[in-house]
């Protein structure tokens, strides 16, 4: 940038436009931000690009309705909004697009361990061993870390202060959850024999 040259002031209000066009422009701004963002965009960030009295929630609702029938949709995940391809088009994407780097490529047991971490976090490797009845390998933990699905939690308050594991925002994004409150009911999963066993858990 040339020294001494400043960016023009961002016009949030668009007061020179009639109300209908103003609303439409705010929708398009939100669409542009969501399209450009690789992670969920929280309400507070979207509020910075629309008029002070405008409802971000209503704008997102109108934009979602505007996108009805398209191959992608707006999803509320991890406390923010993001674009997501509709499930019906997943086979077409796998058949034609290079999405290898985006695939989680987790085994059923990997997902079961991930589910245990989600429900019991923060949890240590010993805690996971108690659930599954066997040692959880560093390789498995490393795979979950590599996909940014888990992170390091607080050290456990006991001898040796072992590290604990917690799920991340990327975990919520990967499984389409707005928050951990959206996890399937744990009692139902336990009754079905899913939690605590080496079986696949479908979060979404």
Instruction: Give the model confidence (pLDDT) of 134-179 as tens digits.
Output: 888 888 888 888 888 888 888 878 777 788 999 988 888 887 787 8
**Count of structural domains within the chain:** 2
**Which of 89, 117, 146 lies at the terminal end of a domain, its last residue?**
89
In the prediction, which pLDDT does 184 show?
Answer: 76
Q: Is residue 202 part of a domain?
A: no
Confidence of residue 6 (pLDDT cuts 50, 70, 90): low
Residues 38-52: what's their mean pLDDT? 91
In the prediction, which pLDDT does 204 show?
Answer: 41
Q: Is residue 74 part of a domain?
A: yes
CATH of the domain at 39: 1.10.10.10
Q: What is the pTM of this model?
A: 0.57
In the prediction, which pLDDT does 60 show?
Answer: 94
Q: How far is CA 81 from the centre of its chain?
A: 9
Q: Is the pLDDT of residue 199 over 60?
A: no
Task: Report yes or no: 117 and 78 within 8 Å, Cβ to Cβ.
Answer: no
Q: Is residue 48 part of a domain?
A: yes
The more confident residue out of 97 and 57 is 57
Q: Is the pLDDT of residue 91 over 50?
A: yes
- 10 Å CB burial of residue 203 (0-12, 13-18, 19+) is middle
138 and 168 belong to one structural domain: yes
Structural domain including 162 reads 104-191
């Amino acid at each position: 940038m040339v020294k001494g040259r400043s960016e023009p002031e961002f016009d949030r209000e668009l007061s020179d436009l009639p109300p209908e066009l103003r609303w439409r422009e705010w929708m398009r701004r939100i669409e542009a931000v969501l399209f450009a963002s690789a992670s969920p965009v929280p309400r507070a960030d979207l509020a910075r690009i629309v008029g002070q009295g405008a409802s971000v929630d209503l704008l997102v609702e109108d934009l979602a309705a505007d996108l009805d029938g398209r191959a992608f949709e707006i999803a509320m995940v991890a406390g923010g909004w993001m674009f997501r391809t509709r499930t019906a088009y997943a086979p077409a994407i796998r058949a034609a697009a290079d999405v290898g780097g985006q695939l989680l490529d987790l085994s059923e047991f990997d997902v079961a361990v991930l589910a245990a971490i989600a429900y019991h976090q923060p949890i240590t490797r010993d805690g996971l061993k108690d659930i599954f009845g066997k040692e959880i390998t560093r390789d498995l933990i490393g795979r979950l870390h590599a996909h940014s699905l888990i992170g390091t939690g607080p050290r456990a308050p006991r001898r040796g202060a072992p590290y604990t594991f917690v799920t991340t925002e990327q975990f919520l994004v990967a499984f389409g959850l707005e928050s951990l409150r959206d996890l399937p009911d744990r009692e139902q999963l336990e009754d079905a024999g899913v939690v605590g066993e080496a079986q696949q858990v479908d979060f979404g």
